[in-house]
Amino acid sequence: MIISYVQTKGGTGKSTLALNTAFSRHLGKRYKSIALVELDPQGTIRNWWSERMELGRNSSKVSFHHISSTQKEVFQDGISSIASHNQVIVMDIPGESTGKLHTRFACAVSDLVIIPMRTSTNDETAFADNLYPIIKDIIKVEPKKKTAFHVLPSFTHPQSKKSYLIEYFQEILPPNVSCLQAIYPTRSIYENFNREGSNLYEYAQAVKGNKRSARQASAAIDDIEEIAKTITDILEK
Ligand SMILES: Nc1ncnc2c1ncn2[C@@H]1O[C@H](COP(=O)(O)OP(=O)(O)OP(=O)(O)O)[C@@H](O)[C@H]1O
Ligand SMILES: [Mg+2]
């Protein structure tokens, strides 16, 4: 099973979402082996992972793989080999303005493609111009992919109503792209939980003595758990 976070626009939370989804309790309870795969030559997660390993953090169920090639055959072989050893793969795809090689590949091989997107005219236009044409091409070749593409309303105001945001996206999204039944709010904790190679869960443990940070961490964990649950609900349907 392959889940990818894809968005041609940069800085929309893909890497943050991918690594925390891979470590979510929800996925951890369901799957014995989870592979976190980074296709981004930038290596955002790779750097974080090296720090994690140096500090000896435990990643028992989650393995990490970085594929930095720009050759389709190398992705294909890499992903097939990882898929043969893992029940689920969570992929982090780079934001790409040109070529969109990684985006095309991820959209084609994934069972579920999650597209983090803000409620902004800029993001909506960028999606329509850059990512939607790729989605349309893939569905044309493989019509069963019609249910694979889901927008995740992202960087939402923490006080915004989830049902309102979902309704908004359902109205504006084109055919064959749905809105996930979850949202990804803006929270400052997402900018610093990853210090010293920790994931959100380890960070929450480390700040449990500080009421304010603990509350933030717990809210972020709820976000991630809900996202993970909606993902498995779709895959298991
Ligand atoms: N929910 C959030 N609230 C606030 N800040 C966030 C949130 N999610 C991610 N960030 C921050 O936003 C920045 C971009 O996040 P991230 O690297 O995950 O995006 P990305 O889509 O992977 O970017 P790229 O396209 O460059 O790969 C980072 O500094 C991250 O800490
Ligand atoms: Mg990234």
Does residue 11 line the site of ligand 1, with CB under 6 A?
yes
Does residue 94 line the site of ligand 1, with CB under 6 A?
yes
- Domain locations in the chain as residue ranges: 2-236
Per-residue model confidence (pLDDT) at position 68:
86
Does residue 203 line the site of ligand 1, with CB under 6 A?
no
Output the pTM of the full model. Answer: 0.97
- Which amino acid does the sequence have at 203? Y
Q: How many angstroms separate the alpha carbon of residue 13 from the centre of ligand 1? A: 4
Per-residue model confidence (pLDDT) at position 198:
97
Q: How many angstroms separate the alpha carbon of residue 209 from the centre of ligand 2? A: 31
Per-residue model confidence (pLDDT) at position 119:
92
Burial string for 79-112 (b: 16+ CB within 10 Å, else e) reads beebbeebebbbbbbbbbeeebbbbbbbbbbbbb
Burial zone of 35 (CB within 10 Å; 0-12 exposed, 13-18 middle, 19+ buried): buried
Cα-to-chain-centroid distance, residue 175: 22
Does residue 15 line the site of ligand 1, with CB under 6 A?
yes
Per-residue model confidence (pLDDT) at position 200:
97
Q: How many angstroms separate the alpha carbon of residue 142 from the centre of ligand 1? A: 31
The set of long-range contacts for 188-196, using a CB threshold of 8 Å and a minimum separation of 24, is: 188/216, 189/213, 189/216, 189/217, 189/219, 189/220, 190/13, 190/16, 190/220, 193/217, 193/220, 194/16, 194/19, 194/48, 196/51, 196/55
Per-residue model confidence (pLDDT) at position 145:
95
Count of beta carbons in the 10 Å neighbourhood of residue 179: 21
Read off φ and ψ for residue 149, nearest 5 degrees.
-105, 120
For the stretch 137-168, pLDDT in tens is 999 999 999 999 999 999 999 999 999 999 99
Does residue 95 line the site of ligand 1, with CB under 6 A?
yes
Closest to 233 in 3D by CA, of 82, 75, 114 = 114
**Residues of the chain with confidence (pLDDT) below 70:** none
Q: Which residues keep their CB under 5 angstroms from ion ligand 2? A: 14-15, 44
**Structure token pair of residue 38:** 């980074």
Q: How many angstroms separate the alpha carbon of residue 216 from the centre of ligand 2? A: 22
Per-residue model confidence (pLDDT) at position 17:
98
**Helix, strand, coil percentages, rounded to 5, for the chain:** 55, 15, 30
What is the distance between the alpha carbons of residues 237 and 234, in angstroms, rounded to a whole number? 5
Per-residue model confidence (pLDDT) at position 97:
72
Per-residue model confidence (pLDDT) at position 135:
97
Per-residue model confidence (pLDDT) at position 218:
97
Per-residue model confidence (pLDDT) at position 60:
85
Does residue 191 line the site of ligand 1, with CB under 6 A?
yes
Ligand 1: nearest atom to the Cα of 220: 1
| CATH number, domain 2-236 | 3.40.50.300
